[in-house]
């Protein structure tokens, strides 16, 4: 999804903290190209105000000031005012948005029209989708917003109509809404090792859900232009138990129907991970007239195993010797190999990377890669006591990993002759 961030600001309301996000209203037709070069979209600057998103307990009294809308309402302004005083549906991890500015995290916000199942495009109340993503780790929200009736006045004055949406504005010039459905992920990007298990976090909340109605859950994976459904579930709570219709297209994949229906937990467990499990996972939840989705990125990793071609290195004469550093079965492809030497008389190591060469990447049947780096060493530049280091960096390693050996002293010629004689005597 193509997104634009303008700014994030925080203010504090009388009953809680208000969060004000700069967003883009997305409409089809004109403007910039859409996702994957599809339909054209028009972007209009807008504002999303979360009223009383977080309680103000413990906040300094000097900071408790409400969000102030423009003094003069303007029909061209797009200000979506979202009331968060209600207990359901509760927006999870809302405090992360409150502290995003202090943590120097960017917030991406987009709003677009939404038509619930069975509704007409221009029917009232109107509905919108609000996509809010905290970049660099944190919460990702997809909110279904429903417009509220504007305040009425004692006069017969018609309310101000928003010029683009043709919807009535409040007396303060905002479009008042409430959350009626939200699908979220508290971990929208996760890294997991090959062979391990992972939980892809996804959940939903709904206002005034009907007891016993079906909850539909679908998980799909998209990777390098290919996609497939890996789980499809329809679950419902009965008087005695939770019933379900389930389709699974990957061994070791599971989700809990009772947690889905009772707790809104749509998370997916993947067991015995492989390289082919890496990709973009789409969690789609539908309940009643609403359906929306969240995206979770799964990155698969495996650190390289590092070995040197020689256990020890000795120069018997002036002949150069080749040393290889092997990086075995790592994923993803990105790997960096560096060489260093440090003689006993030197205080700092000297880089030899420019003198090395790399083999091509070799891909194994499990999707992992191997690679070798080769270095030719000369005795006049690497006297006994010199430490040779191969240093490997890879995304699966928190810090680079070293493999080292020390150049040994050559054996005396007499000892070499005795060893040779003993070998012949044993033949």
CA-CA-CA-CA torsion for 220, 221, 225, 226, nearest 10 degrees?
-80
Tokens 């677009």 found at: 112
Q: Can you tell me the distance from the alpha carbon of 286 to that of 144, in angstroms, rounded to the nearest whole number?
A: 12
What is the domain-level CATH number for residue 127? 2.60.40
pLDDT of residue 96: 82
pLDDT at 145 over 70: yes
Q: Are residues 113 and 216 in the same domain?
A: no
Q: Are residues 340 and 368 in the same domain?
A: yes
Helix (H, G, I), strand (E, B) or coil at 276: helix
Q: Are residues 392 and 317 in the same domain?
A: yes
pLDDT of residue 36: 40
Q: Are 231 and 255 in contact (CB under 8 A)?
A: yes
Q: Are residues 78 and 193 in the same domain?
A: no
Beta bridge partners, 57, equal none
Q: Could you report the per-residue pLDDT of 169-183, keeping only the tens digit for each? A: 998 899 999 999 999
Q: Could you report the per-residue pLDDT of 320-348, keeping only the tens digit for each? A: 999 999 999 999 999 999 999 999 888 89
- What DSSP line would sit under 94-120, residue for residue? THHHHTTTTTT--EEEEEEEE--TT--
Q: Are 58 and 96 in contact (CB under 8 A)?
A: no
pLDDT tier for residue 123 given thresholds of 50, 70 and 90: confident
pLDDT of residue 425: 58
Kindly report the pTM of this predicted structure: 0.85
Q: Are residues 296 and 315 in the same domain?
A: no
Q: Can you tell me the distance from the alpha carbon of 23 to that of 20, in angstroms, rounded to the nearest whole number?
A: 9
- Residue 311 token pair: 């256990």
Sign of torsion, CA 147 149 153 157? positive
pLDDT of residue 135: 84
CA 31-280-99 angle, to 5 degrees, is 75
Q: Could you report the per-residue pLDDT of 220-244, keeping only the tens digit for each? A: 999 888 899 999 999 988 777 788 8
What is the domain-level CATH number for residue 206? 2.60.40.10
Please choose, from the candidates 58, 43, 54, 61, the residue with its C-alpha nearest in 3D space to the C-alpha of residue 10. 54
Task: Give CB contacts under 8 A, 24+ apart, made by 347-356.
Answer: 349/387, 349/389
* Count of domains forming the chain: 3
The domain boundary, picked from 270, 301, 332, lies at 301
Q: Could you report the per-residue pLDDT of 314-325, keeping only the tens digit for each? A: 998 999 999 999
Asked if residue 4 is part of any domain, the answer here is no
Which 3-state string (H, E, C) describes 281-333? EEEEEEECCEEEEEEEEEEEEECCEEEECCCCEECCCCCCEEEEEEEEEEECC
Please choose, from the candidates 284, 291, 254, the residue with its C-alpha nearest in 3D space to the C-alpha of residue 271. 254
Please choose, from the candidates 378, 379, 380, 377, the residue with its C-alpha nearest in 3D space to the C-alpha of residue 390. 377
pLDDT at 92 over 90: no
Q: Could you report the per-residue pLDDT of 255-310, keeping only the tens digit for each? A: 999 999 999 999 999 999 999 999 999 999 999 999 999 999 999 999 999 999 99
pLDDT of residue 60: 52
Beta bridge partners, 313, equal 407
Q: Are residues 262 and 195 in the same domain?
A: yes
Helix (H, G, I), strand (E, B) or coil at 355: helix
Q: Are residues 22 and 86 in the same domain?
A: yes
């Amino acid at each position: 999804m193509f997104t634009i961030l303008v700014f994030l600001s925080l203010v504090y309301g009388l009953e809680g903290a208000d969060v004000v996000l700069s967003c883009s209203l997305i409409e089809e037709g004109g403007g910039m190209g859409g996702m994957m070069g599809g339909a054209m979209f028009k972007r209009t600057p807008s504002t999303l105000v979360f009223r009383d998103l977080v309680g103000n307990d413990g906040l300094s009294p000097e900071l408790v000031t409400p969000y102030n809308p423009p003094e003069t309402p303007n029909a061209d302004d797009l200000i979506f005012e979202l009331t968060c005083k209600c207990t359901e549906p509760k927006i999870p991890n809302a405090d992360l948005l409150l502290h995003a500015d202090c943590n120097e995290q960017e917030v991406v916000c987009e709003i677009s029209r939404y038509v619930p199942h069975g509704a007409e495009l221009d029917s009232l109340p109107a509905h919108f989708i609000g996509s809010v993503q905290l970049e660099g780790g944190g919460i990702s929200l997809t909110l279904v917003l429903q417009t509220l009736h504007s305040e009425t006045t004692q006069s017969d004055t018609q309310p101000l109509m928003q010029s683009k949406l043709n919807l009535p504005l409040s007396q303060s010039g905002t479009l008042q809404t409430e959350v009626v459905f939200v699908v979220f992920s508290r971990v929208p990007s996760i890294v997991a090792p090959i062979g391990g298990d992972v939980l892809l976090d996804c959940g939903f909340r709904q206002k005034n859900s009907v007891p016993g109605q079906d909850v539909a859950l679908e998980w799909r994976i998209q990777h390098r232009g290919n996609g497939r459904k890996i789980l499809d579930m329809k679950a419902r709570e009965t008087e005695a138990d939770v019933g379900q219709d389930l389709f699974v297209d990957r061994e070791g994949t599971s989700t809990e129907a009772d947690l889905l229906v009772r707790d809104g937990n749509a998370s997916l467990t993947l067991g015995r991970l492989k390289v082919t499990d890496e990709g973009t996972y789409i969690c789609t939840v539908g309940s009643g007239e609403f359906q929306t989705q969240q995206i979770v990125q799964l990155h698969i990793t495996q650190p390289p195993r590092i070995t040197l071609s020689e256990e020890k290195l000795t120069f018997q004469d002036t002949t150069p010797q080749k040393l290889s550093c092997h990086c075995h079965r790592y994923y993803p492809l990105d790997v960096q190999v560096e060489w260093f030497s440090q003689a006993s008389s030197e205080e700092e190591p000297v880089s030899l990377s420019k003198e090395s060469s790399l083999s091509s990447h070799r891909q194994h049947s499990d999707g992992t890669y191997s690679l070798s780096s080769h270095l030719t060493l000369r005795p006049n530049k690497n006297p006994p006591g010199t430490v040779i280091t191969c240093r490997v960096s890879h995304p699966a390693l928190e810090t680079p990993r070293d493999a080292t050996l020390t150049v040994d002293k050559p054996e005396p010629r007499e000892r070499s002759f005795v060893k040779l004689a003993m070998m012949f005597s044993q033949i």
